[in-house]
A and B are shown apart, each in its own frame.
Chain A
Amino acid sequence: MAQLQKQAQEKTDALAARLGSLDLAAGGFAPAARKAALARLESMGLPGRRDEYWRYTDPAVFNAETASESAPLIVEKPIFTDKDKVRLVFVDGVFDAAASDKPELAGVEITLLSQAGAQDIHWASALYGTLEAAGQKPVPRPFAALNTAAATEGLLIRVTGTAPKPIHISYRQNSTTSDPILHHCIKVESGAELTLLETGITGARSNIVMEAQVEAGGKLHHIRPQGRSHGKQLLTHIFARLAENTLFKSFTLSMNGRLTRNEAVIEFTGDDAVAHVAGACVGDGAFHHDDTVFVTHDAERCESRQVFKKVLKNGAVGVFQGKILVKAGAQKTDGYQISQSLLLDDDSQFLAKPELEIYADDVICSHGSTSGAIDETALFYLQSRGVEKRVAQTLLVLAFLAEAIAEIEDETLAEEIRERMEDWLHRHERA
């Protein structure tokens, strides 16, 4: 008992210190939602290593009062440059109007969080913090509540038709100590469709939340190549609520990064909806990458797919925590989950916790998790045909990642992602 009290006290103290470094008084859009989020946060406290949900990933750098220094990789080429899109640029979490396209797109309303307070846009006040609050059960996600309470910027995007081109949120980092808290709200109205690209380095340490509500028949495609930097401390949450007949597809590419945790919380509230969350990550050395996914089926005949692939070398660590919860009555659910790691040496490790919790009797759910090395037989076969060992290895690694990349519907975007991975693999072939 004393132990538990001590733990609770530690959490409260850590939270007080963390909140001390934030400018909550600045307020902003949706003051009531922010206040409620702060109350949620205060009741749960910040996570510690003893929390089951943080068993494999140490939350210390996110708990710290300030960000650890991290320099951006200046050399990274911009991605998706050939695609016609509306590009919105954030530098260290601050919107850069001069570098951005006009936030205008047929069938889409785009507003900045920092400017929404002055306007009367009701749709976003109903969404802001709502899915995050719902996503706190059954597992608390304190940093998401912190985000709702303290976000300084973000995009409020409402889609009413088929967006003629993608919206591209392009992040950039200039400061080595930036610590942005961004909160995006996306609402895809009935029958509407949007492709959302999210690219680049958000900051030295970042806390990014996206709440996405997709109404009946709506479609949301989300492709997120997270920028390369070695020191970044990145925490993201996606909260998606899906009505009937919707489609939600989210793919994340991660290369490098001292600590990344990408959480996705998906909830099916309408029948016949489809959600695919996928991730491919490659890490070399000081790299810790955590994918934490929670899918709740609370409707009939929905299909969820989780496909996560990690390539790890030189002591890199990969984590996967994935859960499919099928509530009573969610009949004909089709849930699939695969998490796999390819360990290129003995120093790297993969920690996986796949979970199924099913309360309906007529469902198909499967999960699998594997961890393995390069297939030596296949490697020799390629070499025996004249392919150099390192090239053969890269080919096999790309083959391993293919199932995750296949989750991107747009062929040209998928190809660019594939090329990024290939470039990275070539650069890291020697060591």
Chain B
Amino acid sequence: MLEIKNLHVKLEEEDKVILKGVDLKIGSGEVHAIMGPNGSGKSTLSYVLSGKGGYEVTEGSAMLEGVELLDMEPEARAAAGLFLAFQYPVEIPGVGNMTFLRTAVNAQRKARGEEEISAGDFLKLVREKAKALKIDAEMMKRPVNVGFSGGEKKRNEILQMAMLEPKMCILDETDSGLDVDAMKLVSEGVNALRDAGRSFLVITHYQRLLDHIKPDVVHIMADGRIVKTGGPELALEVEQNGYADILAEVV
């Protein structure tokens, strides 16, 4: 599904190197987790994959189903099936949440040469998916993420993911700021989307999200590299001993 090779990234504006050779291969239908200390480059990796400006790729590649992502505009990457649930979802005053969703769904359909979804079908679909995430009609009418609580913002990200049905989903610290109930809702939303044709990259600090969303593979990232890869037990190890032991071991 996704294959990242030797990815090096620096900031465009300054000589600061953030990713120093990331290698990662995620198969179809797999769930991978990335854990790692703050500032190790996890968000940067997710931004670079989705095409955010301000970063410069100096080396390496990232292929989605055999197609180079790094050459595409962000919207083309989305149409190709990539989705990023933001660590900090963006507020857009003046743009209604519903308008935003419909614009996004139809834009992707158009890019794939499909017909626009009818207003009726769209409404039905949104209602069904929003209900599962306990997002009420009032929240759908509000401007995108404006005045939403932390938990509401994260649930809204998952709603977008459910509506857009991407192939490769990246979740950047979707669990941060969530209480236990919200975490369950979000996890259920994610698990409902698990499918043989869909892969996940779950970035998190904590084992507890991985109790709900069971990963196949766990990676540890430190200082711009993946320093260790293992099974779910690796997340438990981090939970119990922190990163210090693992980092000491790899240096």
- Which residues of A come within 8 Å of B, CB atoms? 375-378, 380-389, 391-392, 395-396, 398-400, 402-403
Q: Are B79 and A386 in contact (CB under 8 A)?
A: yes
What residues of B have a CB within 8 angstroms of the CB of A376 in the complex?
A: 53
Q: Are B75 and A386 in contact (CB under 8 A)?
A: yes
Q: Check A385 against B104 for contact (C-beta < 8 Å).
A: yes
Cross-chain contact of B108 among A375, A381, A386, A391 (Cβ < 8 A): A386
Known: A389-B75, A391-B103, A399-B92. A384 touches B50 (CB 8 A): yes
Given A399-B92, A399-B93: A385 and B160 interface contact (C-beta under 8 Å): yes
Task: Given A380-B52, A380-B53, A395-B103, verify A387-B75 contact (CB < 8 Å).
Answer: yes
Judge whether A378 and B75 touch: CB under 8 Å: no
Chain A residues with Cβ under 8 A from B77's Cβ?
Answer: 384
**Minimum distance in angstroms from B51 CB to a CB of chain A:** 7
Complex interface: chain B residues within 8 A of A392 (CB)? 75
Give the complex CA separation of A296 and B130 in angstroms: 49
Q: Is B128 an interface residue (CB 8 A)?
A: no
Decide if A386 touches B53 in the complex (CB within 8 Å): no
A381 to B78, CA, bound (A): 11
Across-interface contacts of A378 in B (CB, < 8 A): 90-92
By a CB distance below 8 angstroms, the chain B residues around A402 are 94
Contact B52 A387 (CB under 8 A): no
Residue from A388, A395, A402 with most neighbouring chain B CB atoms (10 Å): A388
Q: Is the CB of B98 closer than 8 A to any CB of chain A?
A: no
Chain A contact residues: helix, strand, loop or mixed: helix
Question: Given A381-B90, A399-B95, 11 other A-B contacts at CB below 8 A?
Answer: A375-B92, A378-B91, A380-B51, A380-B52, A381-B89, A382-B104, A384-B75, A385-B100, A386-B78, A392-B75, A395-B99
Chain B residue contacts of A395, Cβ below 8 A: 95, 99, 103
Minimum CB distance partner of B111 in chain A: A386
Nearest residue (CB) in B for A376 is B53
Rounded to whole Å, the gap between the CB of B80 and the closest CB of chain A is 9
Q: How far is the CA of A168 from the CA of B224 in the complex (A)?
A: 65
- Contact residues in B for A396 (Cβ distance below 8 Å): 92, 94-95
Say if the beta carbon of B151 comes within 8 Å of chain A: no
Interface residues of chain B, those whose CB is within 8 Å of chain A, are 50-53, 73-75, 77-79, 83-84, 86, 89-95, 99-100, 103-104, 107-108, 111, 143, 160, 164
Nearest 8 CB-CB pairings of A with B: A399-B94, A386-B78, A385-B104, A383-B74, A386-B108, A381-B90, A402-B94, A386-B107
CA distance in complex: A385, B83 (Å): 7
Query: B84 near A389 (CB under 8 angstroms)?
Result: no
| A388 neighbours in B (Cβ, 8 Å) | 75, 107
Ordered by A's residue number, 30 sampled pairs between the chains whose C-beta atoms are within 8 Å are A378-B91, A378-B92, A380-B52, A380-B90, A381-B92, A382-B92, A382-B100, A382-B103, A383-B75, A384-B52, A384-B75, A384-B77, A384-B86, A385-B78, A385-B100, A385-B107, A386-B111, A386-B164, A387-B75, A387-B103, A389-B75, A391-B107, A395-B99, A395-B103, A396-B92, A396-B94, A396-B95, A398-B94, A399-B92, A400-B94
A398 and B93 CA atoms in complex are apart in Å by 11
8 Å CB contact of B73 from A375, A381, A383, A385: A383
Closest to B79 in A: A386
Give the shortest distance, in Å, between A8 (CB) and chain B (any CB): 48
Point out the residues of chain A lying under 8 angstroms from B84, CB to CB: 384
When distances are taken between beta carbons in the complex, the residues of chain B under 8 Å from A403 are 94
Most buried by B among A385, A387, A395: A385
Instruction: List the A side residues contacting B50 at CB < 8 Å.
Output: 384
Q: Are A386 and B104 in contact (CB under 8 A)?
A: yes
Q: B107 contacts which of A381, A387, A400 (Cβ < 8 Å)?
A: A387
B78: nearest residue on chain A (CB-CB)?
A: A386
Complex formed: what's the CA distance from A377 to B90 in Å? 7
Q: Which of B73, B93, B99 is the most central at the interface, judged by chain A CB atoms within 10 Å of its CB?
A: B93
Q: In the complex, how many angstroms separate the beta carbon of A405 from the nearest chain B beta carbon?
A: 10
Most interface-central of B78, B108, B164 (chain A CB within 10 A): B78
Give, as a whole number of angstroms, the nearest-CB distance from B179 to chain A: 25
Shortest beta-carbon distance from A32 to chain B in Å? 50
A378 CB → nearest B CB, Å: 5
A389 near B73: Cβ-Cβ < 8 Å: yes
The CA-CA distance from A381 to B73 in the complex, in Å, is 13
A148 vs chain B, min Cβ distance (A): 40
CB-nearest residue of chain B to A406: B94
Which residues on B sit within 8 Å (CB–CB) of A389? Answer: 73, 75
Nearest to B163 among chain A residues (CB) is A385
Point out the residues of chain A lying under 8 angstroms from B78, CB to CB: 383-386
The residues of A that contact B107 with a CB separation of less than 8 Å are 385-388, 391
Query: CA A382 – CA B51 in complex, angstroms?
Result: 12
The CA-CA distance from A47 to B102 in the complex, in Å, is 52
Q: How far is the CA of A377 from the CA of B51 in the complex (A)?
A: 12
Q: Are A383 and B51 within 8 A (Cβ)?
A: yes
| A372 CB, nearest partner CB in chain B, Å | 13
Q: In the complex where A378-B90, A380-B52 touch, is A385 in contact with B95 (Cβ < 8 A)?
A: no
With CB as the reference atom, state the residue of chain B lying closest to A400. Answer: B94
Q: Cβ of A387: which chain B residues have Cβ within 8 Å of it? A: 75, 103-104, 107
Cα separation A402 to B93 with both chains bound (whole Å): 10
**Residues of A contacting B91 in the complex (Cβ-Cβ under 8 angstroms):** 378
Instruction: Given A391-B103, A391-B107, decide whether A384 and B74 contact each other with a Cβ distance below 8 A.
Output: yes
Q: How far is the CB of A411 from chain B (nearest CB, A)?
A: 15
A387 to chain B: closest residue by CB? B107
- The distance from the CB of A354 to the nearest CB of chain B, in whole angstroms, is 21
* Minimum CB–CB distance for A374 against chain B, Å: 11
The residue in chain A whose Cβ has the minimal distance to the Cβ of B108 is A386
Question: For the complex, what is the distance from the CA of A114 to the CA of B143, rounded to whole Å?
Answer: 50
With a CB–CB cut-off of 8 A, which chain A residues contact B74? 380, 383-384
CB distance from B116 to the nearest CB of A (A): 13
Expressed in whole angstroms, the minimum distance between the Cβ of B231 and any Cβ of chain A is: 31
* Nearest CB in chain B: distance from A414 CB, A: 14
**Complex alpha-carbon distance, A377 and B74, angstroms:** 12
Residue of A384, A396, A400, A403 contacting most chain B CB atoms (<10 Å): A384
Nearest A residue to B93, CB-CB: A399
Complex Cα distance, B53 from A377, in Å, reads 9
